[in-house]
Amino acid sequence: GAVVSQHPSRVICKSGTSVKIECRSLDFQATTMFWYRQFPKKSLMLMATSNEGSKATYEQGVEKDKFLINHASLTLSTLTVTSAHPEDSSFYICKPDTTYGYTFGSGTRLTVV
């Protein structure tokens, strides 16, 4: 099945700084990548959908200026949390479209202090 590599697995940053999370498709080309967010003991919630070569589509209530998504190539999609605050602390996970199966990335635990 498709392999998605997500980095970093854990990151701690200071409030006000920005953090970039990368998802790479290792053995396929992903035209679409979904970005989810998971709070402790809560559901995974879809944040946005990135499409190679075009602007990302954000779900209702997600600030596009805070969560910058870039999908510059068919093998790399990135999520940048800008001016992070403690309430942005969460588990972020990527997933390509199902053309390549149902695999998720391994997730990134972001802690903002």
Partner 1 sequence: EDQVTQSPEALRLQEGESSSLNCSYTVSGLRGLFWYRQDPGKGPEFLFTLYSAGEEKEKERLKATLTKKESFLHITAPKPEDSATYLCAVSKNTDKLIFGTGTRLQVFP
Per CB under 8 A, residues contacting partner 1 are 6, 9, 32, 34, 36, 41-46, 49, 91, 93, 95, 97-98, 101-107, 109
CA distance 113 to 109: 13
**3-class DSSP state of 112:** strand
CA distance 108 to 7: 7
Q: Which residues partner with 111 through β-bridges?
A: 12
Provide the minimum distance between the beta carbon of 46 and partner 1 in the complex, in angstroms, as a whole number.
6
Kindly tell me which of 32 and 82 has the beta carbon lying closer to partner 1.
32
Provide the minimum distance between the beta carbon of 30 and partner 1 in the complex, in angstroms, as a whole number.
11
CA distance 52 to 42: 29
Q: How far is CA 112 from each of CA 35, 66, 82, rounded to the nearest angstrom?
A: 19, 14, 11
Kindly tell me which of 76 and 82 has the beta carbon lying closer to partner 1.
76
Kindly tell me which of 8 and 16 has the beta carbon lying closer to partner 1.
8
Provide the minimum distance between the beta carbon of 20 and partner 1 in the complex, in angstroms, as a whole number.
18
Kindly tell me which of 24 and 109 has the beta carbon lying closer to partner 1.
109
